[in-house]
Structure 1
Amino acid sequence: MAARTVVLLRHGRTAYNAALRLQGQIDIPLDEVGRWQAEEGASALLASHRATKVVSSDLVRAADTARAYARQLGVPVELDERLRERSFGDWEGLTGDEIATGWPEQHAQWRRGADPEGVRAEAKAVVAERMAATVREHADTLEGDACLVVVSHGAAISLAITGLLGLDASSWRGIAGMHNVHWSHLHRSAPGAVPDWRLVAHNVGAGYPLDRWQAGPHADLEPEPKSA
């Protein structure tokens, strides 16, 4: 009997996230806020999900986020390059405004949810297939009530969920993007059920207000009101 629970965890913030640059498969590290998010998120995730196995994209932002959780749990991290972010080809490292200026037609396609043509971006259906297949493969190495935690990237996770739910990744856009170091929880369906996985929770985090989460550990907090 394979693992019944899969948790898909997005990596912490990077300088490109902060600057709203498209990362794709550029191997950029966590920034200071991202490292703090990884530690805080790890503690929160550990309170609800204790993984039997932790597997991660080999890109450093994901691998270091995975290590923050695995270190608290006391298990190793297995790296798998198939869990990398979707490749965005010529657009990697650029802002949305730069993409819109340089490739207006393709940018419009992308914003509609279509695969942009002629920019060497990885097709959504291809990403969904490789992500879902990889998650299933790792889940099938476990038994019974085991929990698998997979650390990956925003677009890749959305497409993985789409694939695991048996939906057409080329056209279906029903999964909202995830914040840094937030996770989704899927549970295996009963034998013979379609689809074979069900989405239980999506975009769950450590419980911080989003502006505080994005600002990081040194954010100026509002002083508590004084009593009259």
Structure 2
Amino acid sequence: MPTTSLCAPSHWRNRYLLMRHGHSQANQDALIISSPERGVEAFGLSTIGEHQLLSAVNGWVWPVPTQVVHSDFLRTTQTAARVAKAFQLTMTPDKRLRERFFGELEGGSDERYPEVWALDAQKADHTAHQVEAVSAVAARMRKVIDEWEQQREGETILVVSHGDPLQILLTALQGRPLTQHREQPALLPASITQVGAP
């Protein structure tokens, strides 16, 4: 399983394992599935994704999580459930961790992603094609982390979300311009990036 670890500010109270969901049926079908109407009830993990999660759990190399919080989309819920079951943890859904909404491109080919990312690189507030702005995604994702920081200490929190939101969050946490979020290394399905307290 691809893994990454980032140096974290010393003032953080918790450790976070930012996990992208496993390979999904949307990935398999090369579709953009970003609306709750489609993503919450359908387009869960593919067979490849199920194998990725089995491998991740059986070969776990990260600190053991004490909390699991996840997007309520089916693919992220299923991913979180596999890890939560392995460590006998309860799960907390959080709608703020949902996929970035891709507006008019919803349900279409994922070949349209680069078109949006090119616009992202110019302006973090753009909403072309009625896409959710990068700045809006960063704000809602950051609120999740901020609230855990305020409410808990000494936890290892598994945060299960989606590729774009997690790359945007990582860019924000590093204090880099949000227009640079696609300059982050690609987060592969079932990959984990550690941030926060050591």
TM-score, scaled relative to structure 1 = 0.70
Task: Tell me what 1:136 maps to.
Answer: 146
- Which one has the bigger helix percentage? 2
Change (3 A) 1:21 1:186: same
Percent identical pairs in the alignment equals: 26
Distance 1:172 1:149 in 2: 21
Q: Deviations over 1:76-118 (max 9, x none)?
A: 0100000001100111222244x49xxxxxx646335346654
1:84 aligns with 2:95: no
2:127/2:133 contact within 8 Å kept: no
Q: How does 1:14-53 map to 2 (within 5 A)?
A: 14-25=24-35, 26-27=38-39, 28-45=43-60, 47-53=61-67
Aligned residue type for 1:130: R
CA distance in 1, matches of 2:196, 2:33: 29
Q: Quick check: 1:155 aligned with 2:164?
A: yes
What are the within-5 Å matches in structure 2 for residues 160-199 of structure 1?
160-188=169-197
For the 8 Å contact 2:24–2:45, the answer to whether it is kept is yes
Higher relative contact order (CA 8 A, sep 6+): 2
Structure 2: how far apart are the matches of 1:150 and 1:79? 10
Give the C-alpha shift of residue 38 in structure 1.
1.9
Deviation at 1:161, TM superposition (A): 0.8
What SS is found at the alignment partner of 1:55? Answer: strand
Aligned partners of 1:21 and 1:96 also within 8 Å: yes
**Structure 1 residues 9 and 15, CA gap change in structure 2 (3 angstroms):** same
Kindly tell me the number of residue pairs found equivalent between the two proteins. Answer: 180
Contact 2:28 2:46 in 1 (8 A): no
Q: Is the 8 A contact 2:70 2:91 kept in 1?
A: yes
**Deviation at 1:20?**
2.4
Which amino acid in structure 2 is aligned with residue 44 of structure 1? G
TM-score, normalisation: structure 2: 0.80
**Equivalent residue number for residue 203 of structure 1:** none
Within 2, Cα distance between the matches of 1:44 and 1:6?
19
Matched, 1:125 2:139: no
How far apart are the structure 2 equivalents of 1:110 and 1:173? 7
Q: 1:168-213: per-residue Cα shift (whole Å, max 9, x none)?
A: 2134543122111001111249xxxxxxxxxxxxxxxxxxxxxxxx
Larger radius of gyration: 1
SS at structure 2 position matched to 1:36: helix
Q: Which residue of 2 aligns with 1:103?
A: none
RMSD: 2.4
- Shift of residue 67, structure 1, vs aligned partner: 0.7
